[in-house]
Structure 1
């Protein structure tokens, strides 16, 4: 019986690279897929409202939706050396930000959770200023905020904009836990059933495998949604954020997600579909 689903992921190159073959019909799905592309914090909000059947979410945001959603094992963003970074207009230390305004790319993002953990360890308190991720660096440049938490391609481009790195938040996580940093995952409504979840998990995995073996197929789709992003940055973005953990989280990935969810106040055990 065909299963019609609403699916949401971001326009970032790692997501469009992974999902192109599935969204375009190269990888078969028995039913219709209605696709929404949106910023990560908007997707987090849509998941919180139950608006989408299958949705890319920040792992930190997953803590609040697991009664209704289960995480798939494929399609996420996780790895070493891929985490968000904290930047400023000039050299500074984390302690210098005490009481200052700091731009964050959404309150429910993994990036904000990591930043909060670092601030707690440092014993400082900042005034978070929530904004869309691509507004963070301009806000730092203009002096509207003292610093900003940068995600996505900003990891590769902040130096070209004259900004300085204060702290690699992903590196901080890796040093403290020895685990990969789980940035985002694919959540699917539990009400759709385990069989449908496993089928979608495998469809996403096959979509990624197709992208790796036929990278030319999705180039136009990726470039269209990347908009003004430089081609070299697009390529680096995909190479950085699409890892083997995107094919399957594996035991280390499950442990990393569970650890981060505990930091977000969630202790639920049945987070992922069964392998």
Structure 2
């Protein structure tokens, strides 16, 4: 049985699926096919139910909960760190509401976190590919940029300044919860047996990489977009860890509060029952 796994072309996702793609673990007769695309595109494809397994933004989950369940492993969570708003000039966080901000997509969890911070999604933003945002800020096309992925580790090298780290803000606001960013979902029409088997395989893949870190990081470097091994390893450690192996009660609580607060503030239209496989 062929199972498409759609995910971002990033070092952390490559690290997660290393053992599957290099057949280091038993895949129980399933043929896994990698599909690489940026997260906002994956969010939109999930609306159509296109792939059997996909990385999506937690922000997008309420829109696809009729088709997909959340896998208990594969989460990307910012544990006292996360998407960062950066600028060329000094800007106070409270002044962002009056600035033009580049954002990486309206369904990203980074956009939802920024909307929660600002108290509205009706602020002055411009959507652009995540890897174009730093240049747009440097060139003065926007006042600030909301950066995700490896930009969180490289923006200082580009001469930019932190306005606010939304992961730190959320951690302090919620008394120590991680900021839910991405998760893996699986299509419900596969049936319970297949869903559980695939969940176990993906979990084993993540655990294999964590226990064979050196070789898995070397593999993931192909997707590190210019980061050296030290920075790539740090980035992978930020987003592939114990919370990635399993959300646990802390991770599940974080998702529930993130979406509940967004719903209560009118930032998302429905609050689904959250199922984990």
Give the TM interval when normalised to the shorter protein. Answer: over 0.9
Q: What TM-score, normalized by structure 1, do the two folds share?
A: 0.92
Q: Which runs of 5+ in 1 are unaligned?
A: none
Shift, 1:49, TM fit: 1.8
Any conservation in 1 of the 2:70–2:274 contact (CA below 8 Å)?
no
Residue 139, structure 1, aligned to residue 140, structure 2:
no
Structure 2 counterpart of 1:112:
111
Q: Which residue of structure 1 lines up, in the alignment, with residue 33 of structure 2?
A: 34
Aligned position for 1:268: 272
| Residue deviations 1:65-95 (CA, integer Å, cap 9, x gap) | 0000000011111241231111110111133
Residue from 11, 22, 30 that aligns with 1:24:
22
Do 1:8 and 1:43's aligned partners in 2 also have CA atoms closer than 8 Å?
yes
Deviations 1:23-43 (A, max 9, x none): 222222222112101111111
Aligned to 1:161: 158
Matched, 1:152 2:149: yes
Cα pair 2:89 2:161 within 8 Å, conserved = yes
Gaps of 5+ in 2: 263-267
* Equivalence for 2:173: 176
Specify whether residues 79 and 166 from structure 1 end up closer, same or farther in structure 2 by C-alpha distance, changes over 3 A only.
closer
- Residues matched between the structures, number: 269
Please list, as runs of the form range in 1=range in 2, the aligned pairs for 1:124-273 lying within 5 A after superposition: 126-178=123-175, 179-262=177-260, 263=262, 264-273=268-277
Alignment of 1:16-95 (within 5 A): 16-29=14-27, 30-95=29-94
The answer for the alignment partner of 2:265 in structure 1 is none
Helix, strand or coil: the match of 2:73?
coil
State the secondary structure of the residue aligned to 2:213: coil
State the distance in 2 between where 1:234 and 1:253 align. Answer: 24
Query: What RMSD, in angstroms, separates the aligned Cα atoms of the two structures?
Result: 1.7
Report the alpha carbon displacement of residue 116 of structure 1 after superposing the two structures with TM: 0.7
Structure 1 residue ranges, 4+ long, deviating more than 4 angstroms after superposition: none
| 1:177-221 residue CA offsets vs partner (Å, 9 max, x unmatched) | 221111110000011112212111111111111112222433453
Alpha-carbon displacement from aligned partner over 1:29-63 (angstroms, at most 9, x marks no partner): 22211210111111111111211110011111112
* Aligned mates of 1:95, 1:81 — CA distance in 2: 20
Residues in 2 aligned to 1:208 and 1:229: alpha-carbon distance in whole angstroms:
21
